Structure 1
Amino acid sequence: MLLHRVTNRGIRLGTVFDRASARHPASPVYLDHDLDIAPELGRRLTLTEIADLVADHASRLWAAGVRPGERVVIHKADGFDISLLAYSVARIGAVPVLLSPKLDGATVARLLARLGRPVLLTDAAKLERDLPAEVFELAERVLVATGRFPGTTPLAALAGVQRVAPVTAPQDRAALITHTSGTTGLPKLAVQTGHTIQARCRPQSVLLAPVGRREPIAVHVSFVHSRMISGAALFALRGHPLIVLREDDPEQVAELFSRVPPGVIESHPNTLLRWEVLADHPAKPLARVRCFSNTFDAIHPRTVHTLLGASERKLPFFAQTYGQSETGAIAARTYTRHRSGGADGRCVGRTFPGMTEVRVASRDGRRPSRESPGHIEVRSGGQIIGYHGEDQRFDRNFSPDGWWRMGDLGYRTRWGCLHLLDREVDEIPGISTLDLEDKLFTRLPELLEVIIVPGPDGPPVPVVCTRDDRPLDRGRWDEAVTGLPLLAAPVQRRLDELPHTATTKVKRLELARELAPHPIGPDRP
């Protein structure tokens, strides 16, 4: 199998910025927020300054007693310093465990228990407002990145400690633990090694091949997402100027992109959907974009078409990738301005030769097709090595001959393209909810979100959010659903009312449960 023949020495997370700064010392990193652990550095840094910041905090962690092999949970206020602290933890041979700032305190406590007394690196505000007192019993020790709290060691008190040399850990051992999206319950803890992280960088290098290394790359990805860790490493080592965003408010984004025009933008699909309004912004913040890229979820064709139309570059393209936290990118397809308007949004492309493989297993003995989708199964050098504390759950996802089951339903065309129709847990017999949502997005530009969930006692229920929360025009809605499978009357909600994961995906099962006790019909707003 070709993907196992690719040489892989591992990524060595702890020294990524040392190597990047040695190659590109003055390469800039622009932020839309101050770093909690170093606000004095401002919002324009160099790779040299970031390398020094990582080394400094690695030495502080060592002085606080963190040692190689220990698991260090990072759960603090949102910001790029979450990722930088992960590199600091890795620099001294410990294993960073990244938990989203959006997780509630009870969930964090349950994950700490699963980890078996790790070190907890948080901040005083989280301890005061969000985390239960039991975290002090569940953690070996508690460190705070900012502020002071009784019973903790503040990293600020360790400023100026003697620098320690980086620890070189074996690249086949755990190097990073991130959690899955949690759309179906308590998040799982996905374990990666230096080898798997390195393997995840390769598909992205393929997608970036047409992009010059002087092109600034703007990234708006959850700071606890595995993609943020591997992506920041890859972009820095290539020498791209980086634009790292915490906020996704279109006006704030437009202001920053007008000052520092990106050549590449990577973000979650729902964020790119929100940024469609930038296409008509008078400042033309997307005019210099050569490449748009989304993380591992399928994106709606309307968004692709709108964003490509906003670029004034000669040959802009959109790189759509498909994968998940457990596998990294598995397949991809590219769109151009001339191949985006009528594109099939369910096609997520082809695999990366020599790096990833995919097959679709039948569920009913028939060849998988649009009418009879099968289980999507993959193999990749970037696959995680397990779920921490849940070996049996991890093993259940493998087929008897070693293929990883994605939990998605789809089929492959005669030309080898992979088509994704639904998540297995979200399937509604007889329809593809994702395909219906694509059609509704295309027909109703005013939609900011549409999610189709099972109805409690009847047809599927579309939950819709509109731009600026304007009332849905029912006449336009009725016209848009003409010719589509029968749907219940739409339920309108504000976007912030929907349950979201750390990567902005809507928790469909939770949303369906929220709707179940309530009457659904034309009398609902």
Structure 2
Amino acid sequence: MTRQPLLADRGFYLGPVFRRAADRHGAVFVTLDRPLDVNPSLGVDLSYRVLADVVEELSGRLWEAGVRPSEQVAIHKTDNVDIMLLTCAVSRIGAVPALLSPGLSGPVAAQLLERLRRPWLITDRAKLEGPLKGVAGLVRHTLSVDDAPGAIPLEKFAGAEAPAPVRLHPREPSLITHSSGTTGVPKLAVHCPNTMWNRLVPQQAMGWPTRGETAALHMSFVHSRFYHLLGVLLHFGSPLVLITDPDPASVGPLLKRHRPGIVETHPNTFVLWEELADAPGAPLSRVRAYGSTFDAIHPRTVRRLLAASNRRTPWLIQLYGQSETGPVAFQWFTRRSAGRADGRRVGIGIPGFTRVRVTDPDGRPAEPGTPGRIEARTRGRILTYLGAREQYERQLDGEWWQMGDMGYRSRLGTLHLIDREIDRIDAVHSNLEVEDTLMSRLEELREVVIVPGADREPVPVVCVRDDKPLDPERWRKATADLPAMAEPRQWRFEELPMTATWKVKRVEITRMLAEGART
């Protein structure tokens, strides 16, 4: 009798994902919006097989350069799809990719490289001559995808034979990503194949109804969520449209040409793409499923996106979680439910994989409807924070992970999000709820963020589409029945400090207001 492997023996490995998909599904197309930096001659119309070949060829170059199993390899380069391919190539030879956002400032990137204990570094000229200038002493060797001075070009090892794939133990570190950094320097989150597998399986179940549909993705290539979604889509053989530039002027024609059935991006990008709902050629008309994660999405945006589809029953699935846990709760929206959607309702735990609870100040489960601290229990939790084990331990209560959010559960067990703990303002029940209300009442808003002012008063920072002046009379009417707030501060959307996944850094806005950076 053959013993069935335990769940602890299972693992999700990034190295072989494209080859397995190519062997299973053949030459399924993959379209890019810009050529790969590691091989621009390939153009933008590729396939599973082509990308599988690129991953294996890159793994041969890295092995020839001297990279070996379990060594850390930081990837910090200009944003492009080859971040994903380099990640898979590093993983294929058993090394540990450490993914650093292209948007990190030089000092922050240097701090994270220092925590990594002299890793290999894969980068490019733009980074080495800009934010990474002077970090050579923090890394073992620097490899470049181009002709960056002071780095070893990967091209030097072109043609090297790809070694056999290396499979790490399921509980060994296999991927390092970083937290959003909304409240300071990001933390380095250490993943292993087993915890990644425990995130992948429920997401595969959610992806079953849309198996094989063309998927258009604009997501951070340094976030673990991207790789789990990639694993789901490759498993089902979905054609891919991978987008690096979210500008609707370029995205619209691309979506019109490919008519995706699946679209996933960050919530703030979906707000930007609201204008695609009635764009020429109806680029969203064939969408069956939208995916939103990283942050709660505004109900106005959900309604517009679903209305843009001509499919009989389109839906949007919202995943609530964080880098440290993966998704811990989910919520579905249809056209019918979106009409009465509560943007603060983030759903229920994932049966068999996650549990969610709300606790009072003494750590006891809170009564239904009573606000408290949100905690999650999941088999997908990271192993640790690299270089910050004590900080990791402080967020644990036994097996329960403190999410850093305030919320409450309904009598039926549905989780409702109120605010991040650090963003709470006594005069406002929920900043996020007020923001949803304003976004629904003022269609011209691109974003609104409520942050505490110098005296902890609520200060709304607003961004208007096309940078038009905010109409003070419309604002007055829209806020008449809301908690008292300071006069709105109008900023350009590009001025908002953001993370790689377009999360607004509220603490940073508060600091900027305090320093008088904006008036």
- TM-score interval, smaller chain: over 0.9
Cα distance change on mapping 1:519 and 1:396 into 2, 3 Å:
closer
Deviation at 1:380, TM superposition (A): 1.1
- Counterparts in 2 of 1:366 and 1:107: CA distance versus 1, 3 Å: closer
Is the 2:294–2:501 contact (alpha carbons within 8 Å) kept by the matching residues of 1?
A: no
1:82 Cα deviation from its structure 2 partner = 0.4
C-alpha distance in structure 1 between counterparts of 2:420 and 2:367, whole Å? 15
Which residue is equivalent to 1:16? 17
Unaligned runs of 5+ in 2: none
Show the counterpart of 2:333: 335
Structure 1 residues 366 and 189: CA distance shift in structure 2, 3 A: closer
Corresponding residue for 2:140?
A: 140
CA distance in structure 1 between the aligned counterparts of 2:491 and 2:296, rounded to whole angstroms = 23
Deviates more, 1:372-381 or 1:86-95: 372-381
Counterpart in the other structure of 1:252: 250
For residue 320 of structure 1, the aligned residue among 305, 318, 321 is 318
Aligned to 1:422: 419
Aligned to 1:158: 157
Partner residue in 2 for 1:96? 97
Paired-residue identity, %: 50
Q: Is the 8 A contact 1:117 1:138 kept in 2?
A: yes
The alignment partner of 1:406 has SS state of strand
Q: Determine the structure 2 residue equivalent to 1:122.
A: 123
Measured in 2, the distance between the counterparts of 1:309 and 1:210 equals 20
SS at match of 1:49: helix
Secondary structure of the residue aligned to 2:174 is strand
The answer to whether the Cα contact below 8 Å between 1:368 and 1:410 also exists between their aligned partners in 2 is no
Question: 1:340, 1:142 → 2: CA distance?
Answer: 49
Shift of 1:207: 2.2
- Is contact 1:106-1:132 (8 Å) kept? no
- For the Cα contact (< 8 Å) 1:377–1:405, is it kept in 2? yes
Matches within 5 A, 1:85-484: 85-133=86-134, 135-150=135-150, 152-211=151-210, 213-363=211-361, 368=366, 372-399=370-397, 401-430=398-427, 431-457=429-455, 459-484=457-482
Deviation at 1:467, TM superposition (A): 0.4
Question: 1:189 is matched by which residue type in structure 2?
Answer: L
SS of the aligned residue for 2:463 comes to strand
Whole-angstrom CA distance in 2 between matches of 1:7 and 1:70? 23
TM-score, with structure 1 as normaliser: 0.95
Q: What is the rounded CA distance, in whole Å, between the counterparts of 1:362 and 1:378 in structure 2?
A: 14
Q: How many equivalent residue pairs? A: 514
For 1:16-35, list aligned pairs within 5 A: 16-35=17-36
CA shift, 1:6, in A, is: 5.1
Contact 1:203 1:329 in 2 (8 A): no
Contact 1:327 1:380 in 2 (8 A): yes
Please report how far the alpha carbon of residue 517 of structure 1 lies from its aligned counterpart in structure 2 after TM superposition.
3.3
SS of the residue 1:209 aligns to: helix
- Please report how far the alpha carbon of residue 366 of structure 1 lies from its aligned counterpart in structure 2 after TM superposition: 8.8
Aligned with residue 494 of structure 1, among 492, 495, 509: 492
- The 2-side partners of 1:192 and 1:366 are apart by 29
- The structural deviation recorded for 1:131 is 1.0
Question: In the alignment, which residue of structure 2 is the partner of 1:78?
Answer: 79
Shift of 1:105: 1.5
User: 1 CA distance for matches of 2:183 and 2:460?
Assistant: 19
Question: Whole-Å Cα distance in 1 between the matches of residues 340 and 442 of structure 2?
Answer: 15
Gapped runs of 5+ residues in structure 1? none
Contact 2:368 2:411 in 1 (8 A): no
How many Å apart are 1:403 and its aligned residue?
A: 0.4
Secondary structure of 1:450's counterpart equals strand
Distance 1:33 1:437 in 2: 35
> 1:516 — aligned with what?
514
Aligned to 1:55: 56
Query: Does structure 1 conserve the Cα–Cα contact (< 8 Å) formed by 2:123 and 2:143?
Result: yes
Paired residue secondary structure (2:373):
strand
- AA aligned opposite 1:11: F
SS at match of 2:260: coil
Q: Contact conserved, 2:369 with 2:409, CA < 8 A, in 1?
A: no
Cα distance change of structure 1 residues 365 and 170 upon mapping to structure 2, 3 Å threshold: closer
State the distance in 2 between where 1:457 and 1:264 align.
45
Using the size of structure 2 for normalisation, the TM-score is: 0.96
In structure 2, C-alpha distance between the alignment counterparts of 1:305 and 1:176, rounded to whole Å: 36
Q: How much does 1:28 deviate?
A: 0.9
CA distance in 2 between partners of 1:458 and 1:17 (Å): 51
Q: Could you say if the C-alpha distance between residues 364 and 404 of structure 1 is closer, same or farther in structure 2, counting changes exceeding 3 Å? A: closer
Instruction: Give deviations 1:413-455, integer Å, cap 9, x for gaps.
Output: 0011000000011111242000010100111111000000012
